[in-house]
Chains A and B, each alone.
Chain A
Amino acid sequence: MFSRSVLRSLTSDLRLSAPTSVSSVNAISQRACLHQTAWLRTTQQQSEPQSSSPIPEAPLSATSQTPLQNTISQSRNAIPLEKQPVAPTFTSPIEVSKSLMEQLPHLVGQTPHYVVAELHARPYLLTEGDHIRLPFLMPKVKTGDILRFNRASALGSRDFTLKGAPHIDERLFECRVRVIGVESEPLRIKEKTKRRQRHVKQAKSKHRYTIMRVMDVRVKSPEELLEEGAVVVEDAEDSPQIEARS
């Protein structure tokens, strides 16, 4: 979940190099997706020559490489190998039911979106540009890091909601946050007393919290899903559905 993807100064050239085949609705907000299925990545790399051009012309899903292959995108050159973002590996492609495929354009077309992202089993309702102050200090992150939240229990717009049972597949959406810094609270002093003693002990504590900013909340369109190798299956009882508002 916390795979560190430091994409500083990356967003602009990523947007420039967005593939043109994606539907016009999402052409602007196309970003690197680091969650391709493992088998898909290998097939892509076999099929296309290893690009050494400064701006990759392929969809950026193809740029998430394993460090062993010496084809890290240029904008991430400065980052040491061991800190390159690690793409998750999936054993099977995402399965999308027919009805979800039909309903998904309604949800994609209606902006803005919200996502109920879960972090340590706590839900956070997020929209783009929100300020988060986690109730804990997140270890091993530095200011400026970009994290991707991949566990969500609900995803929606004004009229449509996609509910997960209990979670939505992480390949259906993108939610990125940036670590802005660390804040602390004012010093708490609690007075501790023992019986029949005049002495009052003061217990002091000052917790520190990680603060973050939501960079984007995006639902993927059916075309993108198919491009990434989604498999359309028949409706089942437990397949996720988009609920329209009554």
Chain B
Amino acid sequence: MPVQGLRTVTSARNGVGAFILQCKRLDFHYCNHGGSSRGMLAFLTQTLPEFARENPQIEVRVAPRHGKHPVIKGQYINGREKAICVRNMEPGEILKKAMILKDASGEKLKRTKKPVTSLNESVRGIWSPYHGDLRGV
């Protein structure tokens, strides 16, 4: 007998009951020497403490990376990672990029045409030619 896989009974629908932010960690990398990190250094000292206080659900890590451009990396609950290079940016721009990473769902970017995706069955059912009354032609 072949091995039967476990069937999933439920699927996660974040936000229906409880809501969990998908971004779980933000890593800020900077270089003490490089000129492209100047804005990042200002951001780390001025803006980051407040940003971290406003978002207690996100773990914030700051680590130096010598000889490279500054980068913000976001870790998501679904296991993916997103990175944005913030070289030569002002602290305000860097905050915007951090907000993008914070609000992102962690999914790969896709183009979709339909606005609504549903896991539920169709409420009104599927039309059948054998049921219901005959309508006048």
* Docked complex Cα distance between A173 and B42 (Å): 50
Contact in complex: A185, B13 (CB < 8 Å): no
B116 touches A183 (CB 8 A): no
Task: Give the size of the chain A interface in residues (CB under 8 angstroms).
Answer: 38
Q: Is A215 part of the contact surface with B, judged by Cβ < 8 Å?
A: yes
- Whether A143 is near chain B, meaning CB under 8 Å from some CB there, is yes
Secondary structure of the B contact surface, majority rule: loop
Instruction: Contact check, A158 vs B109: say whether CB atoms are below 8 A apart.
Output: no
Q: Does B6 contact A (CB under 8 A)?
A: no
Cβ-based interface call for A14 (8 A): no
What's the Cα separation between A49 and B112 when bound, in Å?
52
B104 touches A11 (CB 8 A): no
B104, closest chain A residue (CB):
A181
Is B62 in contact with chain A by the CB < 8 A criterion? no
Partner of A130, one of B21, B22, B117, B133: B117
Q: Does A75 contact B (CB under 8 A)?
A: no
Nearest CB of chain A from residue B101's CB, rounded to whole Å:
10
Residue of A nearest to B123 (CB): A114
A180 touches B118 (CB 8 A): no
Q: Write out the residue numbers on chain A whose beta carbons fall within 8 Å of the beta carbon of B15.
A: 178, 180, 212-213, 215
User: Distance (Å) between the CB of A134 and the closest chain B CB?
Assistant: 6
Interface residue stretch chosen among A21-29, A119-127, A195-203, A234-242: A119-127
Q: Does A184 contact B (CB under 8 A)?
A: yes
Q: A133-B115, A183-B107, A246-B132 are in contact. Are A156 and B120 (CB under 8 A)?
A: no
In angstroms, Cα B118 to Cα A129, docked, is 7
A127-B118, A129-B13, A131-B118 known; A157+B123 contact, CB < 8 A: yes
A contact set with B: CB distance below 8 Å: 8, 11, 112-114, 122, 124-135, 143-144, 156-158, 178, 180-186, 211-215, 245-246
